[in-house]
Amino acid sequence: MELAEYHALQKLPSPWGTVYRKPGAAGLEEPYRLLANAVSGNVARALDLNAGVGLISLALKNLGADVLAVEERRASCRALQATAAGQGSIDVDCTLPWELSQTDFDIVALVLGAERGNDWVREQLAAAAYTLADGGTLWLAGSRKAGFERYLGWAREMLGSGEVVARNKDMRVAALQKRKVATKPAPLVNTIEAELRGKLLRFYTFPGVFSANEIDPASELLLEHLPKEVAGKEILDLGAGYGALSLPLALEGANTTLLEQSLTAVESARISFSRANATAEILYSDVDESLQEDKLFDIVISNPPFHVGGHVVLDVAEAFVAAAHSRLRPGGRFYLVANPFLKYDRWLQQRFGNVRELYSGRYRVLLSVKR
């Protein structure tokens, strides 16, 4: 896939209007469809709390609501902005659930982000409880295979009572009435201590980031296979998370640029760098869309994602390979780590004309050089 193709938005008709989608964006998975179909009532103000590309927002608008659509993942939020454009009554905010200041919504619609862990779900539910008006309804969607029953229990504890109102195979939608008082959520920041490249480092993570409680073993392995001398090098970290790869390199004197599409990860990286007295360019970006057009690097590193919205999707990893190639100077090197079941060699060979395996075991470390 070419980068232009990756970044292009596509139109998709839905019963509630045109939805825009793009590679790397979540929001058309089954729980979104089930909730969009189930939601009902006479609504003045609605919050779509994990909006994806905006399917549920359109359904809420069709109920007559003014909608606030919130989405923290950059790829989804870009498509969501296109879905909302021209719809008048849908406002979009690419922000985090715990940053919301508007309250008193009649309806909050929430597709649980269970694939991102319990702490993330807890914050999503806390934000729903806080932003709902007393007596308002939470419409909650998720999969039984991903803990829906347990999360419904949490929602009842935080908000009030409610039942399952729609189902399709493992998918469930419940509607709950808010009967309890809720305070503004304040997410716990987790601390990770780890020895990386011979230095004891500390990272700070907000809920919902990749590998929130320990450094990913694949990332550790990649760090061991990078050049010993990186001082003065310009390094691009694609899908940087909270900075597990970049921070050790920055502390060794590299000029690092981090690109990351998840805002909770971006905020985590910002704290981790500032508390380590390290500097970097940390950009909220869908692949390289936020990077200056002519910016080039000596080294690109990545532990690429292979899930979107809980499903295996390789569009983003393929776009990372394309971006790495276009962002390297001649002679520049792209280091990538992956699970052995992911066959990235073919893409690397096609783009770069060469690929070398530096390590093979539980993970593989691959290197391609830009000619």
Tokens of 232: 């003065």
Positions that interact with ligand SAH (CB under 6 A): 24, 75, 210-211, 216, 219, 239-241, 244-245, 259-262, 265, 285-287, 303, 305, 316
Work out how close the CB of 239 gets to ligand SAH at its nearest, in angstroms, rounded to a whole number: 3
131 vs 268, beta carbon nearer ligand SAH: 268
Q: Name the residue nearer to ligand SAH (CB basis): 39 or 222.
A: 222
Q: Are 32 and 11 in contact (CB under 8 A)?
A: no
Minimum separation from the CB atom of position 307 to ligand SAH (A)? 8
Residue 302 C-beta: closest distance to ligand SAH, Å: 7
Q: Please, what is the minimum distance in Å from the beta carbon of residue 281 to ligand SAH? A: 14
As measured in angstroms, the least distance from the Cβ of 196 to ligand SAH is 11
Provide the strand spans (E) within the chain: 10-14, 17-21, 45-48, 66-70, 90-93, 105-111, 132-143, 162-168, 171-177, 190-196, 199-205, 234-238, 255-260, 281-284, 297-302, 307-308, 311-312, 328-338, 356-360, 364-369
**Residue 301 CB, nearest approach to ligand SAH (Å):** 8
Cβ(182)–Cβ(128) below 8 Å: no
Taking the least distance from each CB to ligand SAH, the nearer of 75 and 324 is 75
Question: Quick check: 37 and 58 in contact, CB under 8 A?
Answer: no
Ranked by CB distance to ligand SAH, the top (closest) residue is 239
Nearer to ligand SAH by Cβ, of 24 and 332: the residue is 24
Q: Give alpha helix (H) positions in the chain.
A: 3-7, 30-38, 55-62, 74-84, 118-131, 148-158, 217-224, 246-251, 263-275, 315-327, 345-352
d(CA 114, CA 208): 9
- How far apart, in whole angstroms, are the C-alpha atoms of residue 251 and residue 210? 22
Query: In angstroms, rounded to a whole number, what is the distance separating the alpha carbons of residues 325 and 1?
Result: 13
Nearest distance from C-beta of residue 229 to ligand SAH, angstroms: 21
Instruction: Report whether 84 contacts 69 (CB < 8 A).
Output: yes
Specify the residue for token string 């990078």. 226
Q: In whole angstroms, how close is the CB of 118 to ligand SAH at the nearest point?
A: 18
Neighbours of 54 (CB within 10 A): 37
Using CA atoms in the order 356, 359, 365, 370, what is the torsion angle rounded to 10 degrees? -20
Q: Which is nearer to ligand SAH, 67 or 240 (CB)?
A: 240
Q: Decide whether 31 or 113 has the Cβ nearer to ligand SAH.
A: 113
Nearer to ligand SAH by C-beta: 47 or 75? 75
The smaller minimum CB distance to ligand SAH, of residues 250 and 265, is found at 265
Shortest Å, Cβ 155 to ligand SAH: 25
Using the minimum distance from each CB to ligand SAH, give the nearer residue, 106 or 318: 318
